[in-house]
Amino acid sequence: DRGPVYVAAVAGPKRAWVGVGPCSGPPAEPLRFVDFLATLVATLHRSRFEVEHAAVELAERYEEINLLYTTSEIFGRTVSLEEAAARILEEIADTVGASRGALLVHDRLTETLQVVTALGFDPKDAPPVPVNDPRSGTARVFREQRAVIVDPAPGDAGDPFQQGSMLSVPILWTNPGHAPLPLGVVNLSGRRTGIPFTSGDEKLVSAIATQIGTAIQINRLVRSSLNQQRLQHELQLANDLQMKLLPKPSLFLPEADVAARVVPAESVGGDFYHLFRLGDGKTGVMVGDVTSHGYRAALIMALVMSAASVHAQTTADPQEMLNAILATIAEELERTEMFVSAFYAVIDPFRRRLTFANAGHPHAFVVGADGCAERLPAGAPPLGMTPAVPATQERPWDPGTDLLVIFTDGLTDARNRFDQRFGEPAVLEAIQAHRSASPKAILDQVLARLQHHTGDVTRRDDLTVVIARA
């Protein structure tokens, strides 16, 4: 009876209306006023909503910044990745209100995700998770590199990572210009409020997971660098030790003028030479080549040299020497499935004789005054291939003139950038061209020609050269 009431809807995220009335008179003026009032209220509502939203976002940003600062501080003060991971997991769980959590890191050797640290349960209760496990949500998050919020399910009791709602976030390392590299997963559950995790929680934990990923990758690179430095140091020590096992040729003057060189393809190798002063002016010369190279070959090399040093004191017969060496190392050769080509010669300048036994060594020669190279043939396969050892052979020796030349196939098989072998003829030509020079000068010429041939191409095998005049 007192007049109409004019109502208008207020635009905005929440349903609201404004009304004007009761009114008398024409409706035009009340309608204009109610529209103005609806617009004004909508603006006020929108401003209030934006302020509330900004406050929530600011609080989330504060949590994120505070947590990022805390994790940065932890990484800065903590050397151990495991210790840092435990403290960071506690900080994350406390921030999002989780009572249960785990940080898993990818093991590249086993292709599993292994628990580095856990909260709310014993890590021993969580076996490694295969990354290809189709039933594991943790593995799926790692494979797909995508965070998920898992709602509570009846089967949660069997999953050590989940208790109620669970947030699972991949740990990624992002290298500019490259695809993200997955390094692990962060799992959080058992929220104290009982409220499921939100997209805000996911965003917050993802930011921390990225920081964790960077720390893990840096930790791996540092460890790899330290391990590489340690390995290089150990290899250098092994190389120094191996070189010290080789006798110094200068110690055999004046009975014999000997030049020798061993160059391993790796830091340690299986090539070797040995020299013996046998009395009555005789000199023993041995060269061997163990199959393969590296640590295992170096071990066999050391065993052969040790056995040779012992047996050289009891016999000057080359066959007996190789037979005694084989008896000493036969078990190790069989166990490692390796064998040794070995050449042993005894130079007797007073009797003008050279006696030798050759077990599968292809490159052994006597170069005479005329420059002709006579091959000293093998009488049996390499040691370890059969129980047999070569018989002792004998030939004339011209003291002060003849050269005994022995080298391994690492010299002849050395290749240049066109994959061409250096070859035995090139070695013999270098020796024949300088045969009147000292053994050391001849050896230097051989190695100079080798370097000219190969350039900067990496050697594939160990090489040894021994040149003796007596």
Q: Pick 49 or 302 by higher pLDDT.
A: 302
The pLDDT score that the predictor gives to residue 299 is 82
The pLDDT score that the predictor gives to residue 231 is 63
Q: Of the candidates 371, 346, 376, 374, which has an alpha carbon nearest to the alpha carbon of residue 358?
A: 376
* Cα distance between residue 249 and residue 274, in whole Å: 9
Asked if residue 380 lies in contact with residue 360, where contact means CB atoms within 8 angstroms, the answer is yes
Give the pLDDT band of residue 192 (cuts 50, 70, 90): confident
Give the pLDDT band of residue 292 (cuts 50, 70, 90): confident
Instruction: Give counts: helices (H), strands (E), the chain.
Output: 9, 18
Instruction: Assign domain 246-469 to a CATH class.
Output: alpha beta
Tens digits of per-residue pLDDT, 324-361? 999 999 999 998 889 999 999 999 999 999 999 999 99
Asked if residue 342 lies in contact with residue 382, where contact means CB atoms within 8 angstroms, the answer is yes
Q: Which of 73-82, 94-103, 287-296 tops mean pLDDT?
A: 94-103
pLDDT of 158 higher than 60: no
For the record, the structure tokens of 336 come out as 């490692």
Mean pLDDT of 95-123: 91
Which of 58-62, 117-121, 327-331 is least confident?
A: 58-62
Q: Of the candidates 203, 217, 208, which has an alpha carbon nearest to the alpha carbon of residue 173?
A: 217
Mean pLDDT of 245-249: 88
The pLDDT score that the predictor gives to residue 141 is 94
pLDDT of 78 higher than 90: no
- CB neighbours of 163 closer than 8 A, spacing ≥ 6? 99, 100, 120, 156, 189, 190
Give the pLDDT band of residue 18 (cuts 50, 70, 90): confident
- CB neighbours of 337 closer than 8 A, spacing ≥ 6? none
Give the DSSP per-residue string, 401-422: T-EEEEE-HHHHT-B-TT--B-
pLDDT of 15 higher than 80: no
* Burial of residue 69 (number of CB atoms within 10 Å: 0-12, 13-18, 19+): exposed
pLDDT of 437 higher than 70: yes
The pLDDT score that the predictor gives to residue 240 is 67
* Burial of residue 149 (number of CB atoms within 10 Å: 0-12, 13-18, 19+): middle
Give the pLDDT band of residue 156 (cuts 50, 70, 90): low
pLDDT of 74 higher than 70: no
Which of 32-36, 196-200, 264-268, 425-429 is least confident?
A: 264-268
* Cα distance between residue 329 and residue 384, in whole Å: 8
Asked if residue 126 lies in contact with residue 102, where contact means CB atoms within 8 angstroms, the answer is yes
* Cα distance between residue 406 and residue 428, in whole Å: 11
For the record, the structure tokens of 146 come out as 């995508």
Q: Of the candidates 316, 95, 125, which has an alpha carbon nearest to the alpha carbon of residue 192?
A: 95
Domain range annotation of the chain: 6-61, 78-224, 246-469
Question: What homologous superfamily is domain 78-224 in, according to CATH?
Answer: GAF domain (3.30.450.40)
pLDDT of 83 higher than 90: no
For the record, the structure tokens of 196 come out as 């499921």
Mean pLDDT of the chain: 85
Mean pLDDT of 18-32: 77
Asked if residue 432 lies in contact with residue 370, where contact means CB atoms within 8 angstroms, the answer is no
CA angle centred on 359, ends 357 and 365, rounded to 5°: 60
Q: Which pairs count as long-range contacts for 206-211, CB under 8 Å and 24+ apart, including other chains? A: 206/147, 206/169, 207/64, 207/67, 207/68, 208/67, 208/68, 208/71, 208/88, 208/92, 209/169, 209/170, 209/171, 209/172, 210/171, 210/172, 210/174, 211/68, 211/71, 211/72, 211/75
Sign of the dihedral through C-alpha 108, 113, 118, 119: positive
* Cα distance between residue 10 and residue 246, in whole Å: 97
pLDDT of 431 higher than 60: yes
pTM: 0.57
Give the pLDDT band of residue 26 (cuts 50, 70, 90): confident
* Cα distance between residue 246 and residue 261, in whole Å: 9
Give the pLDDT band of residue 436 (cuts 50, 70, 90): very high
The pLDDT score that the predictor gives to residue 107 is 92
For the record, the structure tokens of 277 come out as 């002063």
The pLDDT score that the predictor gives to residue 64 is 57
Q: Pick 293 or 392 by higher pLDDT.
A: 392
Rg (CA), the chain: 41
